Structure 1
Amino acid sequence: MGFQLRKVRVQKWLQLSRERPTWADEFNPLVDWWDSHREGLLTVKHAHYFDIYHRHLQHFRGKKMHLLEIGVASGGSLQMWKAYFGPRLRVTGVDCCPFSGMRGELEDHRTSIWIGNQEDPQFWDELVQSVPPIDVVIDDGSHVGRMQLEAFQSLWPYLAPGGAYIVEDMMFAYMDMASMASKDSDFFKGHTHWVEKLKHLMDEMQTGFTADSRLKDSVASIRGIHTYRHLCVIEKYDRGQGLRGLVHDWDVLEVGAGVQAPALAEHHAPPPIMSHPD
């Protein structure tokens, strides 16, 4: 991709180099927008992200919905999401390091910009109490593990039923510190924390229980966890669905000669996670 920088605006003269997965639609509106959008605010995305976005977010298009993106940068991705989701989209952008005049340039009747620290729980508390229910979160912010964790712990309980939580650029978790030319030697140390949390969430999704006190009432609402190269998507159950009370106390049950396996203390059928209307 070639860019000519002009402050926070760019001109683009190369099309996206797309390798379409077998599961992806031949036509992707995000790819079409990217290739046809020749001038505007800068955004930087991995080429393979677009098919993942469309796979998990296309059902929101044209509907009234609210997207929160952590990491506004120059604001180009906000333009992209508005074009993709349509005129009923409400956007909240969060950034810790705004460029001069960011709010004046980017805010409009359906876009608000919040300036704050991704690691500050009080900042998130104030935000979630001041904005509509959030349908989609995209974390393209600091890429620092402890900050990604704080954002997830603060925002997941407030994500609307049927929503999606996306964390980008997880490759930072595996970067070799010795090869990083950074003045801040601690900058990349926390990234493994988010990847480890993601592994724990996979366990917690199966049981509906977590040792994380801030998520104990909401981790059972995880519908699915999808991991891709550099990116993950965590989906939330629709209202009224989810794993509720399946596991109470772990015990040990003899299941064969010399073989033991964990079992439920109370052996009864779990409650259904789906229901039909009357």
Structure 2
Amino acid sequence: MPSSPTLSELYNQHSGLVSDKWDSYLSVYERSLAKYVRSPIQLLEIGVQNGGSLEIWSHYFSNARAIVGCDINRACAGLNYDNPKTHVVIGDIKMPETLSAIMKHAESFEIIIDDGSHTSQDIIKTFAQMFPHLNNDGVYIVEDLHCSYWKQFEGGLFSPHSSMSFFKALTDILNFEHWGLPNSRLSILEPFKTPPELTEAHLAQIHSVEFVNSMCIITKKEPSCNILGRRRVSGEVEQISPVKQVNNTYNKAPPQP
């Protein structure tokens, strides 16, 4: 079976509608999304602009069941695609009627990309609304987070309510089982006033939070995949630091005299 073109190759060869991505993003997408290349995935991209990325995604994911774009700009309704599985929904992603229109094309997604307004509150509210619609083993990617450091996008380096501060808070949620506190996962997000669509159960499905320059990549898995699990100790020779087994777990034993 011939190999599929890389995302960089598709961008270099593309001559249709304009797509605007930073060069470093392509390698991140290649690494994060390559496993879906031959799969019948459903993808949502928030922020269509000139529409070129939807064309490229439809080539990269040639077996996709649905490639859906959403944009608040009504001019995007005039974009036309040869691929009948590519759709554009016009509206504010945070509004129920827009979500309802998206759900007519796909009720859930393996890939969600936020390349929308880039303002912090929009990013946070969109994540709260759309993460529940991401399938397990799915990937949620937010672009252009450098805007989180700019006041005109409701951000700043030390802003406690910026989108970067929000995603940093998600890294604490990954380690919820070690808090040793009665707090819920949701409690750490209270300063961000997240919509009620994002529940404790959804937060328990966050498997990883990765940052690269201007991007955040969140993966979703069943809660059982997100705990530390059983400690495994193999070998028999405790030459430096003895360990002892207690109730099927291991703890360091005090050093021997």
CA distance in 1, matches of 2:112, 2:9: 23
Q: Relative to structure 1, is the Cα distance of residues 113 and 102 closer, same or farther in structure 2, using a 3 angstrom cutoff?
A: same
Q: Is residue 208–residue 218 contact of structure 2 (8 Å, CA) maintained in 1?
A: yes
- Report SS of the residue matched to 1:52: helix
Q: Which residue of 1 aligns with 2:106?
A: 131
Structure 2 equivalent of residue 227 of structure 1: 211
In 2: Cα distance, 1:110 partner to 1:50 partner: 23
Q: What is the aligned partner in structure 1 of residue 253 from structure 2?
A: none
* Aligned-partner SS, 2:162: helix
Displacement of 1:135 in angstroms is 0.6
> Greater relative contact order: 1 or 2 (C-alpha under 8 angstroms, separation 6 or more)?
2
Matched, 1:44 2:20: yes
160, 167, 170: which is aligned to 1:198?
A: 167
Q: Does 1:241 align with 2:224?
A: yes
Contact 1:106 1:113 in 2 (8 A): no
Deviations 1:78-116 (A, max 9, x none): 01111111133411110000326525x138521221111
Residue 198 of structure 1: CA displacement?
0.4
- Residue number in structure 1 paired with 2:153: 188
Who is 1:165 aligned against? 140
Unpaired runs of 5+ residues, structure 1, are: 1-26, 178-186, 247-267, 271-278
1:32 to 9, 34, 51: 9
Rounded Cα–Cα distance in structure 2 between residues aligned with 1:241 and 1:112: 35
Give the unaligned 5+ runs of structure 2: 178-184, 190-195, 230-246, 250-257
TM-score, with structure 1 as normaliser: 0.68
Shift of 1:123: 3.3
The code of the aligned residue for 2:127 comes to F
Name the structure where strand makes up a greater proportion of residues.
Answer: 1
Q: Is 126-135 or 189-198 further displaced after alignment?
A: 126-135
Deviation at 1:35, TM superposition (A): 1.5
1:216 paired with 2:211, answer no
**Two-structure CA RMSD over aligned residues (Å):** 2.9
Give 1 or 2: higher helix fraction.
Answer: 2
Q: 2:166 is matched by which residue type in structure 1? A: K
How many residues in Structure 1 have an aligned counterpart in Structure 2?
211
